[in-house]
Amino acid sequence: MQRQGIPPRFVGGLRVTDAESLEIVVAVLGGLINKELVSLMEQLGGRCIGLSGIDSCMLTCGIANPELGYVGEIQSVDTGPIRALVDSGYIPMIAPLGVHRFDGSDNAGKPLNINGDTVAGELARELQVDRLVFLTDVAGVMDGGGRVISRLDQRRANMLLNSGVAGGGMIPKLQACLRGLEGGAVADIIDGRHPNALLDCLQGRSTGTTITTSLNSRS
């Protein structure tokens, strides 16, 4: 987008997507980035297939907020393609794109951009996963003094959102974690820049923020 001279704009931590930006988003997220990640996964020995939420209308949406442009608010999730791939031994690599519901409007069937954190939270909820891990470029959720909060429950996470302590890109991440918890997941927000960060997290050595339904529960 920078090369095309399109400056990014954000509202509430979410990127605004106009018609010109949408073409770039679909081409880059659904094409270039998705296939690069699939190739990397294959090099590491995984059997991986790239998809987007547009395929088989996995993610059907409406317009989330006219101020955000062509950004989708997920209204229904079809987990069938994901379950079929996993049951067949494949790792789905899913680009965060959706399709506007077929409602006869001018936007019917149009691809829509969706925040990746939001997609992860909705899929975690619908698939009822055990773990939801966000690899980010920050150390975790910070308190008002800039210190990482190692453990959160639903109540405290909502307090951080409502008080404004959590802001910017952390807003959709925390909201996605709370959605994942509804399906039974334990959620983690960790610094993906650290070597072996994901492995350490899954082995109980997370240095980021773990979010559970209550502070007494941990899967």
Residue with tokens 């698939």: 127
Dump strand ranges (E) for the chain. Answer: 10-11, 14-15, 48-52, 59-63, 72-77, 91-95, 97-100, 111-113, 131-136, 151-153, 186-191, 209-212
Q: How confident is the model at residue 207 (pLDDT cuts 50, 70, 90)?
A: confident
Q: Are strands 186-191 and 131-136 parallel, antiparallel or unpaired?
A: parallel
pLDDT at 113 over 80: yes
Q: How far apart are CA 163 and CA 157, in angstroms?
A: 10
Q: What gap in Å lies between CA 160 and CA 180, rounded to an integer? A: 17
Domains of the chain (ranges; CATH) run: 1-114 (3.40.1160.10), 130-219 (3.40.1160.10)
Q: How far apart are CA 178 and CA 113, in angstroms?
A: 21
- CB count in 10 Å sphere of residue 52: 23
Q: Classify 147 as helix, strand or coil.
A: coil
Between strands 97-100 and 59-63, the pairing is parallel
For 24-75, write each residue's pLDDT tens digit: 999 999 999 999 999 999 999 999 999 999 999 999 999 988 888 999 999 9
* pLDDT higher than 60, residue 200: yes
pLDDT at 219 over 50: no
193 versus 218: the higher-pLDDT residue is: 193
Share of the chain above pLDDT 70, in %: 97
pLDDT of residue 3: 80
Q: Is the pLDDT of residue 141 over 90?
A: yes
Token digits of residue 17? 């997507």
What confidence tier does 216 reach under pLDDT thresholds 50, 70, 90?
low
- The neighbour count for residue 91, using CB atoms within 10 Å, is 14
